[in-house]
Amino acid sequence: MSQAETQKEGSILFVGIDLGTSRSSISSSNNTREWVESYVGWPKDFISLQVVGKPVLFGAEALKNRLSLDLCRPLERGIIKEGIEKSEEAVKEIIKHLIELAKPSGGQKIYAVVGVPADTLKVNKLAIRRAVSEFAHSLMVVSEPFAVAYGMNLLNNSLVIDIGAGTTDFCIMHGTIPSEEDQKTILNAGDYIDDQLYSYLSEKYPNARFNKNMVRQFKEQFSFVGDMPDEIKVEIPVDGKPVLHDIKNEIRRACESILPALVEATTEMIARFDPEFQIKIKNNIVLAGGGSLIRGLREYLQDSLKEYGPCSVTSVNDPLFAGSDGALKLALDMPSKYWEPL
């Protein structure tokens, strides 16, 4: 019996999960698509439990109540934090929460393809299997850029660059499942921009009071590289009073801080590929992940690569679900011999 026939019978729910450092999403064969910020929080004590009213909180709700919680962001630089007992438990809770959001029917088996940053695939595959094993019946773990490429049918002569929070992952597709040599990970990504922006703002406005969460929100709302005519002013407290601060130059400097490493890694990936096919790769570069939303980034990368010959850089239409949609497509197409029983 084919997977499509099995799915029609309703005995299996196929899901694609994008387990990201900042946000995680799920797409399922019952047409459900949901996402959550990759934060998990547990009440600190019985008072906190009364305040929040739940044994575990996720995403924006966890951030909103973070002063009452032991808050965990389990993925750091694309891998499960080592030496932190709560991290693997938090990954398990996120997986459980996402599958619950997919609303499986009673008795349905869960077949999951989980997309993770490339370094997670190498370092934490067993931990991911443990996290998923209680909630799924069969599993395949793949890299996030491969999931994006599969979902967009970019199976040959393409380069996917997934700019996430913890890492930027590169994956060259050449008509087969990519090997480690076809992939590369660098740490110049969203969290790196946040750190730079926090540092720049602290230096420019030493009397202002702000935190990393506020800085991340500034970046997500205003990020750009190159030139932009609009002003960027935000309210930041000074001595308890809201004061407008100009952060345009700091936003640009922080976002542009990832560009040298991004261009270097892109040219390296292309240069080490079969020279007969390099022209095709350069004309099929796709940006994915939250970082693909940085204004001017696609144009900057395309201009930077022109000295190596004609090239074309595009961006995915839906960065939030491109990974989970691709993982779901892979799950639906997967021959049975590739599934790993749990």
> What pLDDT, on a 0 to 100 scale, did the predictor assign at position 273?
86
Alpha helices for the chain (secondary structure H): 3-9, 46-52, 59-64, 85-101, 118-123, 125-133, 144-151, 190-204, 212-222, 248-256, 259-271, 278-282, 297-305, 322-333
Q: For the residues of 293-312, what is the DSSP string, one character each?
A: GSBTHHHHHHHHHGGGS---
Which structural domains are found in the chain, ordered by start?
3-150+321-341 (3.30.420.40), 155-188+258-315 (3.30.420.40), 190-256 (3.30.420.40)
Strands 285-288 and 241-246: unpaired
Please report the pLDDT score of residue 84 as a whole number: 57
Contact criterion met (CB below 8 Å) for 158 and 138? no
Q: Tokens for 261?
A: 């490493």
Shortest CA distance to 4 belongs to which of 250, 107, 12? 12
> pLDDT by residue for the chain (342 residues), tens digit each?
345 444 444 689 999 999 888 999 999 999 999 999 999 999 999 999 999 999 999 999 999 999 999 999 988 766 677 655 688 889 999 999 999 999 998 888 999 999 887 766 667 777 888 888 889 999 998 888 999 999 999 999 999 999 999 899 999 999 888 888 888 999 999 999 999 999 999 999 999 999 999 999 999 999 999 998 889 999 999 988 999 999 999 999 999 999 999 999 999 999 988 888 899 999 999 999 999 999 999 999 999 998 888 899 999 999 999 999 999 999 999 888 878 777
